[in-house]
Amino acid sequence: MATGPEHALPLVARPGPVLPDHLRADAARNREALLEAAAALVAESCVGAVTMDAVAQRAGVGKGTVFRRFGSREGLMGALLNLSEAEWQTAVLSGPPPLGPGAPPYDRLVAFGRSRLESTLRHAELIAAAGVAGRRSLPAWSFAAMHVRILLEQLGVDGDLPVLTTALLAPLEMPVLSQQLDGDGFPVQRVLDGWVDLLERVTRRS
């Protein structure tokens, strides 16, 4: 289990009950069932298969229930992203090293970059389908930024740490990745190698 500063990392809220008394459990079960249905449709087919009608039918509820829970298809896609984000944060906080605690700070940063890149690319279609909701939420960005900044501090990196942190995070997000992979035609390994090179320069290991 993580200790120290990581306890203060801002977490993405996991889907949970928000209503009082007996309605709380019903709402939680409905939301969980809908997200499970949407996730199953993505796994079996593709993101494009996740329509509000398809999710409602899969979950055995009316389409209106899906809209009441998530507001729109984009909201549903955003909720799926939050589920993935919560799982990834758990791996960072309490998973095995080097992504999780127990490895040297530099090794954790390299593992962070690799894992974040893989996660972003794995969910690229979902991020696009979520539209505005697909952008990293403030808690998601804040969690990643604080995690990177803590590790930079542990390495004794000086300079403007918030700016350096943003410089390390930006290449792992879809706007930059789309340009490098689709626009420039870079292979994924080149992008990852370039990110590690940037990290080495920031931490003055090159």
Render pLDDT for 17-58 as a digit per residue (tens, 0 to 9): 444 555 567 778 889 999 999 999 999 999 988 999 999 999
Question: Helix 52-59 to helix 73-94 angle, to the nearest 10 degrees?
Answer: 70
Q: What is the pLDDT of residue 6?
A: 55
Radius of gyration of the chain (CA): 19
Q: What is the pLDDT of residue 18?
A: 45
Q: Convert the pLDDT of each residue in 108-118 to its tens digit.
A: 999 999 999 99
Phi/psi zone of residue 29: left (φ > 0), alpha (ψ -120 to 50 degrees), beta? alpha
| pTM of the shown model | 0.83
Q: What is the pLDDT of residue 179?
A: 96
**Residue 50 exposure: Cα atoms within 13 Å on the Cβ side:** 27
The reply to whether domains 27-71 and 73-204 share a CATH topology is: no
Q: What is the pLDDT of residue 206?
A: 56
Q: Convert the pLDDT of each residue in 170-206 to its tens digit.
A: 999 999 999 999 999 999 999 999 999 999 999 997 5
Q: Is-contact 155 105, C-beta < 8 A?
A: yes
Fold of 73-204: Tetracycline Repressor; domain 2 (1.10.357)
Q: Where are the domains of the chain?
A: 27-71, 73-204
Q: What is the pLDDT of residue 141?
A: 86
Residue 83 scores a pLDDT above 80? yes
Q: What is the pLDDT of residue 151?
A: 98
Distance CA 106, CA 111 (A): 9
DSSP code of residue 156: T
Fold of 27-71: Arc Repressor Mutant, subunit A (1.10.10)
- Token digits of residue 192: 């990852």
